[in-house]
Amino acid sequence: MKISFIGAGSMAEAMISGMLEKRIVKPGDIRAHNRTNKKRLHTLEQKYGIQAADGLSQLFEGPDAVILAVKPKDVPDVLESVRPLVSPDTLLVSVAAGITIPFIENKIGRHIPVARAMPNTSAKVGLSATGIAFNAAATKQHRHRAFAIFSTVGMAMAVKEEQLDAVTGLSGSGPAYIYYIAEALQQSAAEIGLDAQTAKQFILQTIIGAAEMLKTSAQPPEALRKAVTSPNGTTEAAIRVLDEREVKQAFIDCVKAAAKRANELSNAEEEIPARE
């Protein structure tokens, strides 16, 4: 499989690293182009042995998939530039937030296979949760390619495009919610007398252990929480405070706010101007 990247940022690097580690592609079969930061592109070339393309045209010389990994504001210009280069069988995959499949189709102006993916930053450690939506032109083979690519950086699941805003609110922004909890636990540890390094180890293992329980247990989260909550015990005292502060509702509201913002960005893509 031959893969081309338009953009060489952190997500592109995470995907390159994952694909090479899982050996679904050889270094020489990956090409990348970065319009402005050539130093960054050279770094990836030296680190992973990939090919640095001098221009966009080189990226479209027989690839199985082209990954659009640029900032949303740069997408219109990029699509205008690649429109004459895209072949009918080339899978165009976008990881640009808020850029919809219809927007890409309209800019390209032809019936080509398109996938829109929403990974999260845990792709950097191979543990992303990625939602992928496809257009009608994407065949079973195209879908297989996309899943092969994103499975190298974690879990990948097909969703309808209209569900991607919800995926963004839940999972795309999700790591930040866990980091927020970790921040609070770190601060509370300092206030009850634990040094930062000791607290970090306990916090990390607690989060990892709880995640593994959620992953392997057939019980829902509520049942697992209640199993830890003994009457008149320490956990019950803690949960009482969370309930009094309506923390659960706050998390529900924050996910809804992120999903709403994702929808606003998706609906505003037609207002993104191409640079003069």
Annotated binding site for NADP(+): 6-11, 69-72
**Considering only CA atoms, which of 177, 182, 192 is closest in space to residue 259?**
177
How far apart, in whole angstroms, are the C-alpha atoms of residue 223 and residue 257?
27
In Å, how far are 147, 158, 201, 266 from 140, measured between CA atoms? Answer: 11, 12, 44, 26
Burial of 22 (0-12, 13-18, 19+ CB in 10 A): middle
Strands (E), the chain: 3-6, 30-33, 51-52, 65-68, 91-94, 114-118, 128-134, 154-158
Cross-strand bridge partners of residue 5: 32, 67
Residue ranges of the binding site: 6-11, 69-72
How far apart, in whole angstroms, are the C-alpha atoms of residue 217 and residue 62?
45
Q: Are 111 and 89 in contact (CB under 8 A)?
A: no
